[in-house]
Amino acid sequence: MVAEEVNVNMDINQIAQMAGVSRATVSRYLNDGYVSQEKRAAIRRVIEKTGYVPSRQAKSLRTGKTNVVGVIIPKINSASVSRMIAGITMVLNEAGYQVILANTDNDASREVEFLRLFAEKSQVDGVILIATVITPEHREAISALPVPIVVLGQETDCCACVYQDDYNAMHDLASIALRDVHHPAYIGVFEDDVAVGQMRRKGFLAACAEAGIEVPERAMRIADFTVDSGYEQAEALLENYPELDVIVCATDSIAYGALTCLREYGHVVPDEVAVTGMDDSEISQIVTPTLTTVHLHYKTSGAETARMLVGFMTGEESVPRKVKMSCEVVARNSTR
């Protein structure tokens, strides 16, 4: 039967009055409790006639569940983050959860604010934090959460987590980049970010040590996660370390900036200077030359994180608390 009229202001009391039953009877009906067949039929007729839909807020008050998950992200315009979100939403949608995205613009203090907000307001059944750092303030806010949380992107012991194998990914990539070169340079990110900052830098230096290459301090630069910053730091390397013959970059975005800088300064890639990135974003396959990088399974890691969280929220047994993702080096035309 098609509803004759949908009244968005209709409430449970009006349904009860129109059906000739008590409010408690309607409540039991809506929550699959016992109601006689006669009264059940009367309530159903009224609901079908009016198009009444119980509000999410009222359902939350009855069940204590919101069927909403809060996802805290470092920035909205990131290829890697968008791939993670695709995996997260795919799993959560299938499991019947809605998603609230909280964008922090790479502000760690705002991450903590959102964690505290989710703890105080009880708006969500669970939280996913795509983390860049884990500070003492993060740990405190995480411990205060009344709902399950899974961290994506950083290995941590304060809660469940899904993370990339950043050290070995960079080690294996750098080992390829170091072939037939003698003066490698590195553009990383701030080491407050343990995964991308510390672990990737350590992987690079370990590969250099194994190759018997000592990297001077002037060959190491720090960028943010942008193309412009990659360009600026590559320009600084050309000035301070002109003998460089490969630039290993912590991310693809940094590498795109380095490629642009080298081209504008007249250097041929990879004949004169090789370049590598990390992430295997779509653009890495179409830049000139195509970029040697590492494929990190960001969408899969997002899906794995969401599955882990759903397991915690639904009380499943044997849900893993740590998952380290695999990775593959993708050798293209920017290296020799």
CA–CA dist 220, 247 (Å, integer) = 10
Judge if 271 and 178 occupy the same domain. Answer: yes
Report pLDDT for 7. 47
Report pLDDT for 1. 37
Judge if 82 and 182 occupy the same domain. Answer: no
Look up the domain containing 43 and give its range. Answer: 12-63
Residue 335 placed within a domain: no
Judge if 112 and 139 occupy the same domain. Answer: yes
Report pLDDT for 122. 65
Domain count, the chain: 3
Judge if 89 and 18 occupy the same domain. Answer: no
Q: Over its length of 336 residues, how does the chain's per-residue pLDDT go in tens digits?
A: 334 444 445 778 888 899 999 888 887 787 667 888 898 899 889 888 887 776 655 555 455 577 899 999 999 889 999 999 999 999 999 999 999 999 999 999 999 999 999 988 667 999 999 999 999 999 999 999 999 999 999 999 999 999 999 999 999 999 999 999 999 999 999 999 999 999 999 999 999 999 999 999 999 999 999 999 999 999 999 999 999 999 999 999 999 999 999 999 999 999 999 999 999 999 999 999 999 999 999 999 999 999 999 999 999 988 999 999 999 999 999 999
The CATH number covering residue 88 comes to: 3.40.50.2300
Residue 333 placed within a domain: no
Judge if 172 and 261 occupy the same domain. Answer: yes
Q: At which of 45, 63, 81 does a domain end?
A: 63
Report pLDDT for 57. 52
Judge if 188 and 99 occupy the same domain. Answer: no
Judge if 45 and 193 occupy the same domain. Answer: no
Residue 330 placed within a domain: no
Burial of 248 (0-12, 13-18, 19+ CB in 10 A): buried
Judge if 252 and 232 occupy the same domain. Answer: yes
Judge if 226 and 211 occupy the same domain. Answer: yes
Judge if 180 and 291 occupy the same domain. Answer: yes
Q: What is the pTM of this model?
A: 0.81
Residue 3 placed within a domain: no
CA–CA dist 13, 29 (Å, integer) = 13
Judge if 44 and 77 occupy the same domain. Answer: no
Judge if 178 and 270 occupy the same domain. Answer: yes
